[in-house]
Amino acid sequence: MRALFGIRARHRWVHLVLGGALLMPYFLVGSIIVGAYTHGPGILTSLPLSLLSFAVALPFAAVSALVPIARPLLVFGVRALCGSDPAALADGPARSRDARLRASAWYTLHLAAGGILSGMSLALPPFSVFLIVLPVFPGLRGTPYDAGGPLSTDWGVALAPLAGIAMLLGLAACSAAAGALLARLAPVLLGPTPADRLAVAEQRAAELAVRNRLARELHDSVGHALSAVTLQAGAARRVLDVDREFVRQALTAIEETTRRTVDELDAVLGLLRQDDESATGAAGPGGDFTAPDLTALEGLLSRTGLKVAYSLDGDPAAVPELVSREAFRIVQEGLSNALRHGGSPTVILQVAIAGGELEMVMENPLSGAAPVVRPGGGRGLRGIAERARLLGGCAASGPHDGVWRLSVRFPLGGGR
């Protein structure tokens, strides 16, 4: 009884009746076409002509559902009334030919089943009620429903209520069966196509790439700032009673470093607070927040707390924006590694821009002391390698002739 008359069955019946209502304009068009080529009884009084008009109407319904916007409207009705798994249905308009054909097939099937069930719902209940009350009201035997046949006999009248109840149960069973069939076919015809799944995967990959890039920005910026601040604070503590001027300079560097890092942190967190779509647009290559690049290297080196021998060959302003930003972050991470691992505060940095390539080499003496390891480890060298690969270049690091050498090279065209 729940399968025939439960809330899900009632919702599916409403969905089918809506399909029958949507069929009416197409049925009228079909009846006009059929009436133009036939003579004799009217369409509504002839069952064969009505069935022919019904058949002619379905192709018009199929064509009208080929528009891309039809699929989300159909999916909305299925999710509200059919009881199908919402996650198995596609979102958004049907862009591909396969998706449009599937949506058209679903719409045609819905209207065909809905038209048949709507006709049954209009015809069977009144006749079933007539049969049920026929033994109680003998005067009904003279109605058009009783034009001879079994209802003219006593045993026919006695069995009429059972026949009426059986008709109502049959109507409910047909409705439940048709609704269950549509619910089963909905994920097949209105579910995501391979093209839809590919588009979703590409969108998720793009969002993940944006979030990974923001994570690298946070790691490099905040990690370098904390390393620099730690070094400056430690040096200032050791000479606090000896060199007040050095302490003053160290505190100034700490203040500048933290202020700059807080600004960058606010910018990145502001992007993360946005929704996925706006974050993707704002953090993409054409809509990135203001980030430091190679032109800001001298300011970075002056605040790092290390003695850096810096040489530049080429014009940093000629480097594409994306490459320039990534190069700045690589230098920043290299300095952070030198701060954590180095005993000697002397670092050699060489930047060369020539021949359509950017090459950076950073060297610092190996101290032999245990490095300062952050809890949970870090992604410094891996992050540098990832940045270089994303720009079509390469990165190498390791001990070389008594120094730790970091070498990075990538084409300037990586900014495209």
pLDDT tens-digit readout, 193-247 = 887 877 777 778 777 777 777 777 777 677 767 777 777 787 788 788 788 887 8
- Residue 277: the pLDDT is 44
Structure tokens at 112: 């065909």
Residue where the block lists tokens 């503590």: 237
DSSP 161: H
Are the CB atoms for 107 and 65 separated by under 8 Å? Answer: yes
Kindly report, residue by residue over 263-304, the tens digit of the pLDDT.
Answer: 777 766 766 666 444 444 444 433 445 568 888 888 878 777
* 68 and 98 Cβ atoms separated by less than 8 Å: no
Of the candidates 172, 129, 182, 183, which has an alpha carbon nearest to the alpha carbon of residue 2?
Answer: 172
All domains of the chain, ordered by start, with CATH?
2-192 (no CATH), 198-415 (3.30.565.10)
What is the enclosing helix (H) or strand (E) of 363? Answer: strand 357-365
A 10 A CB-CB count for 178 gives 23
Among 175, 185, 170, 171, CA closest to 14: 175
| Predicted TM-score (pTM) of this structure | 0.55
Please determine, for residue 37, whether its predicted confidence score (pLDDT) is greater than 60: yes
Residue-wise pLDDT tens digits, 69-109: 999 999 999 999 988 888 899 988 988 899 999 999 999 99
